[in-house]
């Protein structure tokens, strides 16, 4: 009974901690969402991305997680959301939950069991390290530009403007440097980038991230979880296409072809 209680408590702790992905992870999934579902103008795309990167401001703002993270979000909930900022915000919550289940299902944390640092924290930084190296600095250039502005919806959470700006500066750092390098910057400049990590934790992360990020099993896991999100989006996208809309599209295409040939004849 005591063993069961310990295991149950450990699982609850893991569920509460593991549900938070890091910025690079969130941004890449958001870009996959945009590709699968949206035809936004630049302003709406910026609002969507700022929305999906906003919720973890709860750390520097010291606010309750429930204020920026919604429970029990489904893909249908996200699709039905009209405002691009809040659609991105809701996607963030969905991604955290799906990632948590995937982490637990795969048992990937076993691969870093010997690391003497918070395993949940290390894993999400490893994901970002691997993804940053895979996609490269240039891939995130537009996001770094987007972070220069503050969306009006960010101001509705009673968070000081200075905190929001500082959060954007930190996020920009995330899209400029590998997590291992970012931890070094946080260690060397604690006043410029205040954080919740102790000096000892930062030193351990700097030590562990580069080596574990070369682990083939962790690289495979990271690629597969991204594929998992793509599949979820693809399946949902296809299920939302009704036979009527497909037929309408076919008729429109045939009409365009007919118009083209009529012009040729004249």
- Going from the C-alpha of 116 to that of each of 63, 67, 83, 119, 202, the distances in angstroms are 29, 32, 43, 8, 12
Those residues of the chain that have pLDDT short of 70 are: 1-19, 194, 241-266
The reported pLDDT for the residue numbered 185 is 94
Query: Is residue 244 in some structural domain?
Result: no
Q: What is the pLDDT of residues 113-138, one digit of tens each?
A: 999 999 999 999 999 999 999 999 99
Query: Is residue 228 in some structural domain?
Result: yes
The reported pLDDT for the residue numbered 265 is 61
The reported pLDDT for the residue numbered 115 is 97
What total number of domains does the chain contain? Answer: 1
Query: Is residue 6 in some structural domain?
Result: no
The reported pLDDT for the residue numbered 242 is 46
What's the mean pLDDT when you consider all of the chain? 87
Residue numbers of the domain that contains 25 = 15-238
Query: Is residue 49 in some structural domain?
Result: yes
124: which 2 tokens? 């999400």
Query: Is residue 157 in some structural domain?
Result: yes
Query: Is residue 266 in some structural domain?
Result: no
Is residue 121 a contact partner of residue 179, using CB atoms and an 8 Å limit?
A: no
């Amino acid at each position: 009974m005591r063993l069961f209680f310990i295991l149950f408590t450990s699982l609850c702790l893991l569920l509460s901690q593991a549900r938070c992905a890091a910025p690079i992870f969130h941004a890449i999934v958001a870009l996959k969402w945009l590709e699968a579902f949206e035809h936004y103008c630049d302003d709406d795309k910026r609002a969507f991305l700022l929305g999906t990167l906003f919720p973890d401001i709860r750390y520097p703002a010291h606010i309750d997680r429930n204020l920026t993270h919604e429970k029990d979000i489904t893909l249908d909930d996200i699709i039905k959301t009209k405002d691009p900022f809040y659609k991105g915000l809701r996607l963030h919550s969905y991604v955290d939950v799906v990632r948590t289940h995937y982490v637990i299902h795969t048992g990937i944390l076993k691969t870093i069991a010997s690391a003497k640092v918070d395993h949940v924290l290390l894993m999400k930084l490893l994901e970002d390290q691997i993804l940053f190296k895979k996609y490269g600095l240039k891939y995130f250039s537009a996001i770094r530009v987007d972070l220069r502005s503050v969306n009006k919806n960010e101001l509705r959470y009673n968070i000081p403007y200075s905190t929001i700006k500082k959060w954007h500066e930190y996020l920009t750092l995330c899209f400029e440097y590998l997590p291992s390098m970012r931890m070094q910057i946080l260690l060397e400049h604690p006043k410029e980038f205040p954080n919740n990590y102790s000096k000892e934790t930062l030193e351990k992360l700097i030590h562990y991230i580069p080596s574990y990020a070369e682990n083939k099993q962790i690289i495979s896991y990271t690629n597969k979880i991204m594929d998992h999100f793509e599949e979820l989006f693809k399946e949902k996208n296809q299920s939302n296409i009704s036979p009527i809309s497909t037929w309408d599209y076919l008729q429109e295409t045939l009409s365009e072809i007919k118009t083209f040939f009529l012009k040729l004849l004249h």
